[in-house]
Amino acid sequence: MVDSTSHPGAPERVCHVPVPPDAHALSTLAWIDYENALVPDLDPAQDRTAEQWARTVLEDAPSDTRQALTKGWTALGLQLGPAQGQGFVLGWPVRHSTPDVLLLSADPTLGLHGQLLFQRRPHTLLLAAFIQLDGERARALWAPAEGRHPHVMHQVLEQAISRTAA
């Protein structure tokens, strides 16, 4: 499936896909109210670990993008740590890490649990987001962000692929 939010005439390098069952199973949330997944057209994905990809996508993004992401996550009530450092990727705590899988999981302050999954797959990378909403306050926080979320994920991953191709 091709992302409908891309720019006309631009080459498609990132596609939205259903979350594969094996990736879905890696989430540690009690339940999932929202999920989204993307795969970029890149080769070879094996040159980087899942954590290296996460750092490329999030920490190597332009400073205005990093600031906007952090501001958005904080507004949703996600508890973030240091922007960089051992055990964190742009403030997201690392919950599970292997060369092929990195699960980032931010605890809620306002009832919204968030997870980002970077999974290195043969010849590509999967980036998935999982959201659990505890109560009406969390649902109200998430409602305005839900429609923009796929576009933001697409844009951040597209920028990372552009940077790695340069």
Amino acid code (one letter) for 94: V
- pLDDT over 60 at 127, yes or no: yes
> Would you place residue 41 in the very low, low, confident or very high pLDDT band (cuts 50, 70, 90)?
confident
Model confidence at 74, in pLDDT bands (50, 70, 90)?
A: very high
Contact residues for 45 (Cβ-Cβ < 8 A; gap 6+)? 53, 120, 121, 122, 123, 124, 125
Q: What is the pLDDT of residue 8?
A: 43
Residue 13 confidence class, pLDDT cut points 50, 70, 90 = confident
> Is residue 154 scored above 50 in pLDDT?
yes
φ, ψ of residue 94 in degrees (nearest 5): -80, 120
Contact indicator for 126, 20 with CB cutoff of 8 Å: yes
Higher pLDDT: 166 or 113? It is 113
| Helices 149-165/63-75 angle, 10° precision | 150
Alpha-carbon gap, residue 55 to 87, rounded angstroms: 12
Report the pLDDT value the prediction gives residue 47, as an integer from 0 to 100: 82
